[in-house]
Structure formats: C-alpha cells, structure tokens
Chain A
Amino acid sequence: MPFPSLGHGIGLRTRHFASFLAERPPVDWVEAVTENFMAPGGRPIAVLEKVRREIPVVLHGVSLAIGSVDPIPERYLADLERLVRRIQPALVSDHLCWGTHRGHYLHDLLPLPYTEEALAHVVSRVQEVQDRIGRRLLLENPSSYVGFKDSTMVEWEFLAELSRRSGCGILLDVNNVYVSARNFGFDPLTYLDGIPADRVGYFHLAGHSDKGKYLLDTHDGAVPAAVWDLYRQALRRFGRVPTLVEWDDRIPPLEEVVAESRRAAAVEAEVLVAPRRLAS
C-alpha cells in the first residue's frame, strides 16, 4: 500500500499550542510526539483533537524501544492502541533503537548492534506492534555516536532488510543521516542509495550542533545548509516524499518553524518541478 501524500508539515509543540489554534498556519500536516499525548486528559490531547479535525496528524513515538530485549510493556501498547484509535493518524512512526532495560526506561534512542540476532529480534517486534495497532509502523534511522564491534552490516543495510522482512516503512531523517555520517565517517549518499525508495514514508529535517569532535542531534536551530543539500539529494533519489521540520529546543515563534517548512516545499519544487519545466 502506498504512503499518503501529506505535503509539508511541522512538529506540533506545546509552546505553539495557542498560536497554532489561533493562526491556523499554512502547514499541510503535523507530527505529534506520541507519548506527550497519551495522558487521557488535559490540554495536550484536547489541542491535538482540535488540530486533527482540520489537518492530518502523524504520531511519532520515542519510547517504543523496538530493539530492546525487554518485552514491550503491555501498558505502552495499550496506550498506543488507544491513542491511534482516538486520533486516527495518517501514519504511526517510532525509531530504530532500544531504550528500555529490565523494566526501566532510559529515555534515549540508543543504537543497536547491526547483527542477524538484532535483525531477527526487531523484525518480530515490529510484527507484534503492527498486529496490535492494525497498521504499518514506520521506523526512523537514529543519530548515532557509537558503533559496535559485533556489527556485521551497516545501518542502511539493516534498515532495508528490516523493512523487507517486517513490512515496516522507513521514516528517513535526513539530518540524522548527515549527523551519523559525520560521526562515523561514511558517505551520506551511500546511505541514501542503500535505502529502498518504495519504503520511505516521509522525511525529517532538523538542526544539529557541532561539538568539535562530533555532531549532536539537538533540534535546536534552523536546518543547516549541509542538511538542505542532502535533502536535495534525497529528493532526487526518492522523488516527492512528505517532509516534516522538527524543532525541539530553543523553539522559536511558530512562524519561524513554518517558514522552514515552506522552505522545504520550495526546495522540493526547485528540485522536482524545475527540471520538468526546463524540459517542456
């Protein structure tokens, strides 16, 4: 089944709740961090329901911990299932990572060793979640800072094979590809080439911080020029793919985040539409 054509969106953040409802900004869709809206009451879920009545919402989790060896907590699955039923999101995504251990949450997107053992484990867990929520799950490539001596494949091979075996979609975070490429010294274009085009459901764009010896995925600023360049390459490789701008720290006024999203739309037009016009 093809992925929905959502257009260009932004992450819906608490700081923007009031202005989002008042201004109805020109964005095609929003992404909501799943866990922030699982509480049964309060303002967040009320705002999300209002927004959902007007535009599509994608639920994007940070705590599923699909690669953890711990069983997926029933409480989490039940909350996720309930929220999916309540919001009827266009897509449901989380990260290719682990983050729970012996019943405790580490609240981070920790990298996995890319081994056959890990692959078989994640495939079965994806199937468990997809069966539970009755939908395809999309998994995002994480930003990574450490690798494993035991890894027998690179991340894009793991992700492509995971998608093939489990049927999950791929949320390709262009900024994360760039950050990990710098942190491990691989070519980000090789990463893009290794991802099957028909499995990518949407892109993420975000900012990062240069810490000297490494890049940190901070989401605390505008999308850097190098990430825009990689986004252009991704558009050439994958074609028109829904794109979302994330901004999670030092969050500016809503119009600034919206402007980044409009810029993504302009870049898409520049890459995908302009050559056709030239050809005609």
Chain B
Amino acid sequence: MTLAETQALFRQAITSPSPLPEERLEACFAGTPDLPAAERIGIYAGMYRSRLGDALRETFPKLLRFLGDERFAALAEDYLQRHPSEHHDVGQVGRRLAAFLRLYPDPDRPDLADLAELEWARQEVFFAPAAKPVGTEAFAGLDPAAFARTALVLSPALRILVLDHAVQPLWRRLEDGDPPGPPSPGASALAVWRSGFDVFHSPLPLDEAVALEGAASGDPLARICAAFSGRQDPAGAAHAALSSWLGEGWIVAVADRLPARADRKRAEPADVLPALDRMRLATG
C-alpha cells in the first residue's frame, strides 16, 4: 500500500461509526496474537472520540450540563461525523455546532442552538487579540465638521449575537445549577466581550445591536445613530449607547472616514443629529 492509501484506511478505521471488517485491517496493520490489529486500531478509535468529545465538552459546558453526558456524547458523535475538525487547534472543533443544531434542532428545545452560539462566542472572544480601548478624548480630537462621517473601530474581543431565543436566563440558570425552565422564544440580542482576561455577556436592545453591527462593518456615526430612530428620544438613546460602548471598552479607535458615494447621497436623519452634538459636547 502507498502512504496515501495507508492513511486513508487508518482514518476511515478510526472515524467510522462502526468497525471495519477485520480482514481489511489485518491486511494493512500488524498485531500480535494477544492483541490483534483490529483491537489495536480500536485503541486509536476510542482516543479519537474521547479527545474530540472532551474538546466539545470544554467549549460547551452549559450545553453539556443541559443534555447530560449520554445525550451530549450522542450529539458529539453525530456532529463529528458531519463536521470533522478543520483546524489545528482542537478547541476550534465546535465552530459549527450551533449551525448544526439549527439544521437538526431538538424539537422540544430549539433554543439549544442559541445557547451553543453564545458559548462559542464566549470562547472566541477569550482568545481574540487584545486592543487598547479609547476614552472620550478620542472624540475630542475630531474635527466637528467630520463628526457625522466618523467611523468606529470595535474591539476584536466583542461579538454581537442576534438570536431566536432569550438564552441569557437559560445560561444563568445552568450556571447556578437551577432547573433550565422552558425556552423563551423571540428575537433577542447579546453582546459578548472580554475585559482583561474575563469574558462577559449582556442582553442588548435590538436597535443597539443593529447599531453595533453597523459600526463593526464601518458605518459612519450618522448611520450608527440612525439605528435609534425608533426610540422616543433617539438622540438620548444614541448618546447613552455610545457612552456605554466607551465605558465598556468596546471602541478601540475612531477614524475620520469619508462615507462611500452612495452614503453621501443619503441625508443624515435630522432626529439623530442632536446625539452627535451631545457627543461633541460631552467629549469636547
């Protein structure tokens, strides 16, 4: 057998849900009378499942607590058959678990995909690069005329999740060891971020999540503030949101950036301009 053929057979033998025929294994692998080749390959098959299962358990501790060992192991087996590891860091193997749970949801607990997404985001931000947050002085240095077109650079250790269920209460109950309670359907948003070496998550109003997603994709301040136009006091809401982003350390740079041509045609919504004024006053 060539090296390539040997490795293909070895991989199939240790990842297959059921053992390969012994004669096929005996043709390639060498064993001894007391420990035949098929049993020896079985050692590797067991270690494969155990190692990847451990990585998933470590990344999704709340999902594990909810499902228990047996159901979690069955989920891991199904998941790994469809999504073998694609990254040299075994900790990345759970990257697609939330998507997998959306595709094959538990009919009684459709919120588990959202729980997995939250746990994955918590891991991602833990290992994200560090960046020094800016304070209000970053706004003070801006040319007032350029304020509306200023873009924000958000922390690489911040994720905004828009989910189909409110999973923060479920996460909390599992953290505290309480009964999980029923699913809470309805769109909800969460911010997940790292401060120092600690990871946090917190519910967000949906419009603030939209504003943050816009900021992450380079929207200028005028557009970011426009996300709050549905509020009774849009300017006050935008100002409060921007202030809290600064306070949490989510903004790591501000940049005077000309909006794209299409953006320039769009007028700044008049009702959010006062928020920009307030930021200028607060920081200038």
Residues of A with Cβ closer than 8 Å to B? 35-36, 38-44, 46, 63, 67-69, 73, 75-76, 79, 98, 101, 103-108, 110, 112-113, 115, 117-118, 121, 145-151, 183-185, 213-214, 216
Contacts and interface: CB of A to CB of B under 8 A. Distances in A.
B190 to A, nearest CB: 20
Contact of A42 (B27, B48, B51, B128): B128
Nearest to B88: A63
Given A68-B7, A147-B30, A214 B43 contact: yes
Chain B contact residues (Cβ within 8 angstroms of A): what range?
35 or more
B85 A107 contact: yes
Contacts of B86: 103-105
Contact of B3 (A117, A183, A216): A117
B11 A145 contact: no
Contacts of B6: 113, 148, 150
Contacts of B1: 113, 150
Contacts of B15: 106
A107 B44 contact: no
B47 interface: yes
Interface of B: 1-4, 6-8, 10-11, 14-15, 27-32, 34-35, 37, 39-41, 43-44, 47-48, 51-52, 55, 84-90, 93, 126-130, 156-157, 194, 197
A191 B214 CA distance: 62
Given A39-B89, A41-B156, A147-B31, 18 more contacts: A35-B90, A38-B89, A41-B130, A42-B128, A43-B126, A46-B130, A104-B86, A105-B85, A106-B48, A107-B93, A108-B44, A108-B47, A117-B2, A121-B3, A146-B41, A148-B6, A149-B27, A149-B29
Contacts of B51: 107-108
A145 B44 contact: yes
**4 closest Cβ pairs, A-B complex:** A39-B127, A147-B30, A63-B88, A146-B40
Contacts of A44: 127
A46 B30 contact: no
A101 B34 CA distance: 30
B30 A148 contact: yes
Contacts of A147: 29-31
- Interface core residue of A42, A67, A69, A103 (most chain B CB under 10 Å): A42
Contacts of A146: 29-31, 37, 40-41, 43-44
A63 B92 CA distance: 13
B29 A104 contact: no
